[in-house]
Amino acid sequence: MGTTTSVRDFVAVQDVVDGLILAAERGKPGAAYNLCTGVGRSIAEVVRKLIELTGQEIEVEGDSSLVRGGETSILVGSWQKAQRELAWSPRVPFDSSLRETWDASASWFADATI
């Protein structure tokens, strides 16, 4: 894994879909809307939470060759414009979204014939 110190704004896909629908229905033509949570989480935090969900002991190793040059260390958005103009806000808690994603992925892999 490359750097785990980068911070990103993780938003549930359900919230993004709701925001895109509202943007199509209510948004101003050509306007940009951030569909985000406004909360930054490090990659290390997300990896720790995923490892907890597995119930396994997993060691993560860094690999500096995977770090991209010019990488922005912190990317966190503001959804205030989307709230004002679309009446949109993020609703799905991060932990719930991560759990749903893990459960769906685990179920798919369990059922897959490879």
CATH code: domain of residue 32:
3.90.25.10
Domain count for the chain, please give it.
Answer: 1
Dihedral angle of Cα 82, 10, 96, 52, to the nearest 10 degrees: -170
Single-letter amino acid, residue 53: L
Please report which confidence band the pLDDT of residue 85 belongs to, taking 50, 70 and 90 as the band edges.
very high
pLDDT confidence of residue 86: 98
Evaluate whether residue 2 is within a structural domain: no
**pLDDT above 70 (res 112):** no
Tell me if 28 sits within 8 A of 85, measured CB to CB: yes
Evaluate whether residue 1 is within a structural domain: no
pTM above 0.85, yes or no: no
**pLDDT above 90 (res 89):** yes
Evaluate whether residue 96 is within a structural domain: yes
Evaluate whether residue 14 is within a structural domain: yes
Q: Which domain holds residue 73?
A: 7-111
The string of pLDDT tens digits covering residues 30-58 is 999 999 999 999 999 999 998 898 888 88
